[in-house]
Amino acid sequence: MPWIDAHVHVWTEKTDRYKHRESYPIPGGITIKDDAIEPRDFPPETILGHARGSNVDRVVLIQMSFYGTDNSYMTDTIAKHPKTFRGVGYVDPEASGVGDTMAALLKQGVTGFRIVPVAGTEGSWLQTKSYEAMFRAAAGTRQAMSCLLNPDALKEVGRMATAHPKAPIVIDHMARIGADGQIRKADVDALCALAQHRNINVKLSAFYALSRKKPGYDDLLPTVRRLYDAYGPERLMWASDCPFETLHGTYEGSISLIRDRLDYLSKDARDHILRGTAERIYFYK
């Protein structure tokens, strides 16, 4: 049975219809300018061209940050290919009626929401009424709270997992451990410790950004094994983070790390990581 890619961004140069913001932040206080993004266009047809060659036929779309709260390019894509795509959207957590907005987007195939800590707030970033409302709504709709963060923001995720045990939570890109060039044991320990919360799941993804950029991503293998031992295959999912993976490596190189190079995986375990977990979290609706 074909696999699922749990993390892909798509966008279009048609900015007259789908407006771009001029810049957007990522964890660590870094801001990326829209005019620095490459490629300039990455439509759904392109990712499917990469994916099908690696036996991947379903994809979770992650709202591209420069679209802000306008999820329309993503939802329009889902509407055209409802069996192929699901979406992780972005909403303003401070907006009134955020739970109603989340429920409305669920009807359009948005089964998760990306949340990102503001620089300088990592130790308390989820301690707001607005995030309480989002997690409370997610417990009812099953929409995953997909966290793009660094290890210094993990403690708050654990607190919210305890407070909202029915809200699905996903840690994107292995909490970006290694993004600064160092894989610290303390960071891996902190991410593994969150496995005590049964509603937390982890994406094995963005290998190009977390490794030393050597072919095969061998330096990531010990981290992947630690996460496997902590979470088990039922709460891990593979994702490419395309198109960025294909700019720095290859699609096949990313999926093959999980599919071919983890000799401790049983067939069932591999199926969970490459399909089952993402199917449960994102394709339930």
Calculate mean pLDDT across residues 163-182.
97
Displacement of CA 57 from its chain's centroid (Å)? 18
Instruction: Please determine, for residue 30, whether its predicted confidence score (pLDDT) is greater than 60.
Output: no
Instruction: Please determine, for residue 263, whether its predicted confidence score (pLDDT) is greater than 60.
Output: yes
Per-residue pLDDT, 65: 86
Calculate mean pLDDT across residues 96-124.
95
Per-residue pLDDT, 16: 82
Fold classification of 3-282 is TIM Barrel (3.20.20)
Confidence label for 27 from pLDDT (cuts 50, 70 and 90)? low
Instruction: Please determine, for residue 262, whether its predicted confidence score (pLDDT) is greater than 60.
Output: yes
Instruction: Please determine, for residue 7, whether its predicted confidence score (pLDDT) is greater than 60.
Output: yes
Cα–Cα dist 237/88, whole Å: 15
A 10 A CB-CB count for 262 gives 17
Per-residue pLDDT, 236: 98
Calculate mean pLDDT across residues 143-150.
97
Instruction: Please determine, for residue 136, whether its predicted confidence score (pLDDT) is greater than 80.
Output: yes
Distances (CA, A) of 132 to 57, 98, 126, 155, 250: 35, 10, 8, 16, 39
Cα–Cα dist 115/90, whole Å: 7
Of 16 and 112, the structure prediction assigns the larger pLDDT to: 112
Of 142 and 23, the structure prediction assigns the larger pLDDT to: 142
Cα–Cα dist 257/261, whole Å: 5
Mean pLDDT computed over every residue of the chain? 93
Instruction: Please determine, for residue 23, whether its predicted confidence score (pLDDT) is greater than 80.
Output: no
Structure tokens at 5: 């890619």
Instruction: Please determine, for residue 117, whether its predicted confidence score (pLDDT) is greater than 90.
Output: yes
Q: Quick check: 7 and 203 in contact, CB under 8 A?
A: yes
Distances (CA, A) of 258 to 54, 89, 136, 254: 12, 26, 33, 8
Instruction: Please determine, for residue 50, whether its predicted confidence score (pLDDT) is greater than 70.
Output: yes
Confidence label for 198 from pLDDT (cuts 50, 70 and 90)? very high
Domain positions in the chain are 3-282
Q: Please report, as a single letter, which amino acid is at residue 158.
A: G
Question: Out of 41-45, 198-202, 213-217, 279-283, which region has the weakest mean confidence (pLDDT)?
Answer: 213-217
Per-residue pLDDT, 24: 57
Those residues whose C-beta lies under 8 Å from the C-beta of residue 100, and which sit 6 or more positions away, are none
Q: What 3 state SS string does the chain have? A: CCEEEEEECCECCCCCCCCCCCEEEECCCEEEEHHHCCCCCECHHHHHHHHHCCCEEEEEEECCHHHCCCCHHHHHHHHHCCCCEEEEECCCCCCCCHHHHHHHHHCCCEEEEEECCCCCCCCCCCCCHHHHHHHHHHHHHCCEEEECCCHHHHHHHHHHHHHCCCCCEEEHHHHHCCCCCCCCHHHHHHHHHHHHCCCEEEEECCHHHHCCCCCCCHHHHHHHHHHHHHHCHHHEEECCCECHHHHHCCHHHHHHHHHHHCCCCCHHHHHHHHHHHHHHHHCCC
Angle at 158 between CA 152 and CA 159, to 5 degrees: 105
Instruction: Please determine, for residue 20, whether its predicted confidence score (pLDDT) is greater than 90.
Output: no
Per-residue pLDDT, 38: 75
Q: pTM here?
A: 0.94
